[in-house]
Amino acid sequence: MDKATVEQRALINKLADEYADELNNLGVRVSNLENKVGNVKFTGDARLRYLYQNGVKDNDDSWQYRIRLRGTATINDRTTATLGVTTNNQGFGDNGSAQEDEIAADIIKVDYNFGSPNWMLTLGRDTDWMLGGSNSYGYQYGDTIDLAQLKYNNGKIGVTAAYGKLKEGSGFFAGGLDDADEMVDGVKMAYGEVEGYFGNGSAAGVYYANFNGGDWFGTQTDEGMVWDRFNGDDLWGAYASVNFGSKWNVLANYEHVNLLDGRETITGDDSADVWIGKLTYGKASMAQPKSWDIWVEYIDAEDGAFLGGSTNSWRFGNYMDNMTSWGAGIDYVFAKNAMFSVMQSFATDTKDGETNNDLEKEQTRAQFQFAF
């Protein structure tokens, strides 16, 4: 409800007439009574996607859907509270009953602005949180996190400091420790970032993350139980996102990952690098029907560069490092709040060691997204 009903307006006016003097004496504006009525906003989105990689994802396993609902309440002029739930990514090939499909709370947070538009304190659980910031590629992580975060942004400089716990690996939300894809779930992280904004939507930033391990997980193999844990010690990265005119954007993103003591890559190193470049023409906006964009990207990732988080990339999380790969895609808004996207990898090669046949199988993704 965005506005007061007729009955509510009548009650507000009656109270205002009766108690206007008392309220004014207390320094309270009568008009604020109406602003506090109907202060909850509900939004949501739905996604249907098709993922294909020969011999890895096909038939019913290729189809997934996700539905998310959000409610944001304005507590006062400094504080908002948000609650969001998600179905997670549900596969059409899953054989479980409807009762087994997990619905999870992926947003439970309070935002406080200290009375200034430049400051924002966030406490609780947030989603779509990107390691590297919203202007970066989001190679390592772009999903749910439990955190305390303080941000300052005056339109020219942005500073972020956060401490939190990563909640989603490259598999399903909050999975168990018996799944190697979920070794990121529960990893604690201290994070800082400094960004500069240069007008026309251009930005550049540097960031650092220090990881505090994670629980050991066991994987059953033919040789018995194999135990492992999260590999990352810390990382630093930098990005630049530059807009040229109203149509072109160039993104460059670099990250250097240091592994835990005793961990080595295929080449015997205790660290790994990833370079990412992306060129985009156009801008697809869910609010603007018939808007579109087309893009091409290149990734050069050493073995060990990807730590297993739920990446913001469209690519499959199991095949994100020890590779060089091109990708291309298009986004088209065919109606207000409705978009169709297609992505395709090509010229993918193993970077070091023996050829990984599964990694080199090209990836295809197509999806519909709806906002409401």
Closest CA to 325 of 362, 273, 364: 362
Highest mean pLDDT among 52-56, 124-128, 174-178: 124-128
pLDDT grade for 294, boundaries at 50, 70 and 90: very high
Domain coordinates in residue numbering, the chain: 1-38, 40-371
95-112 pLDDT, tens per residue?
A: 554 444 578 999 999 999
What is the average pLDDT across 287-307? Answer: 97
Q: Which residues of 178-201 are buried (b: 16+ CB within 10 A; e: fewer)?
A: eebbbbbbbbebebebebebeeee
Mean pLDDT of 261-276: 91
Burial, 339: exposed, middle or buried (Cβ in 10 Å; 0-12, 13-18, 19+)? buried
pLDDT > 80? residue 181: no
- pLDDT tens digit sequence for 13-52: 777 666 666 656 655 554 554 555 458 899 999 999 999 8
pLDDT band at 169 (very low <50, low <70, confident <90, very high): confident
- 40-371 maps to CATH 3.30.300.130: no
Predicted confidence (pLDDT) at residue 198 exceeds the cutoff of 50: yes
Residue 65, pLDDT score? 94
Range scoring the smallest mean pLDDT among 7-11, 58-62, 77-81, 149-153: 58-62
Q: How far is CA 343 from CA 144, 269, 277, in A?
A: 23, 33, 16
Both tokens of 292, joined, read 């579109």
